């Protein structure tokens, strides 16, 4: 992967890279197996750039961890360009390998897709969702893009089905911390980190509410913890009081994301047109 710049003012090459958010690790990787080409000649970060110079930055080639086992299964791709891959994940799949689920993760599936399409790249997860949450996941095609996306504000909207008749709309502002009795579970805790969740009830039927959720912060299990906290746990979420006889995973789906593309500087808005949550609500 490479980027080309036309220099508009005199400066040291290293300074130019730092001003464009190239991290220390990225610059180090470029030194080892990438290249910095100025007007067709290889240069070091100490090169003094002049107005009108043409700089070509060739990023270091990444190698996937040997612990990742790529596999071939079609991805539900919602958006793809040279820098990002955005997909829709179903429930019962990890975004990345874990102790209990070492393989068949989304990142391994993406790695298999890259190999099949002759993209010698390593996927990096930008927006991670729980194993049993479905919907949109953003992956970057290089660590540098992952770094840029980490500096980008990403607006995320979710749909969920929760128990009971929730009021039309509201804001849950309650700090979240670890539950000391569990290595997984979180809880509302005055000593925890600030967490804010907006919700809007779209429909109510048969003691269930279909809700649109907007995250204003990004704490682990935030939506699940907050909805349990106000007495409306998500259907199927047995970790947070939403046990259901049929649905064995939380009926929660990331349905829309919006952000400014770090390379194109354009607004990218992706909506998952197929939404299983709405279909389930019609039948539940």
Burial class (CB in 10 A: 0-12, 13-18, 19+), 168: exposed
In 3D space, the residue among 112, 124, 114 whose CA is nearest the CA of residue 73 turns out to be 112
Q: How many angstroms separate the CA atoms of 175 and 168, rounded? A: 22
Cβ atoms < 10 Å from Cβ of 98: 10
| β-pairing verdict for 208-215 and 77-80 | unpaired
Ramachandran region, residue 112 (left: φ > 0; alpha: ψ -120 to 50; beta: rest):
alpha
- Is 100 among the catalytic positions? no
Catalytic residue among 130, 155, 189, 272: 130
Residue 71 has which token pair? Answer: 């596999």
Catalytic center residues: 130
């Amino acid at each position: 992967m490479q980027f080309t710049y036309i220099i508009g003012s005199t400066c040291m090459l290293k300074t130019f890279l730092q001003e464009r958010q190239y991290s220390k690790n990225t610059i180090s990787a470029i030194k080892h197996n990438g290249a910095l080409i100025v007007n067709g000649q290889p240069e070091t970060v100490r090169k003094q750039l002049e107005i009108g110079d043409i700089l070509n930055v060739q990023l270091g080639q990444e190698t996937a961890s040997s612990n990742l086992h790529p596999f071939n299964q079609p991805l539900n791709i919602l958006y793809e360009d040279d820098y990002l891959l955005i997909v829709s994940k179903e429930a019962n799949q990890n975004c990345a390998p874990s102790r209990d689920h070492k393989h068949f993760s989304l990142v391994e599936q993406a790695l298999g897709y890259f190999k099949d399409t002759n993209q010698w790249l390593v996927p990096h997860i930008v927006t991670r969702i729980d194993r049993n949450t479905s919907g949109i996941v953003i992956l970057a095609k290089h660590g540098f893009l992952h770094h840029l996306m980490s500096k980008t504000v990403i607006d995320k909207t979710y749909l969920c089905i929760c128990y009971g008749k929730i009021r039309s709309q509201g804001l849950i502002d309650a700090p979240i911390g670890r539950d000391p009795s569990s290595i997984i579970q979180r809880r509302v805790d005055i000593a925890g980190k600030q967490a804010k969740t907006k919700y809007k009830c779209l429909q109510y039927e048969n003691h269930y509410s279909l809700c649109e959720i907007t995250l204003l912060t990004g704490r682990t299990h935030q939506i699940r913890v907050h909805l349990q906290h106000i007495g409306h746990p998500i259907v199927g979420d047995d970790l947070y009081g939403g046990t259901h006889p049929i649905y064995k995973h939380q009926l929660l789906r990331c349905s829309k994301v919006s952000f400014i593309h770090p390379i194109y500087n354009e607004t990218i808005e992706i909506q998952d047109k197929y939404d299983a949550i709405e279909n389930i609500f019609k039948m539940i």
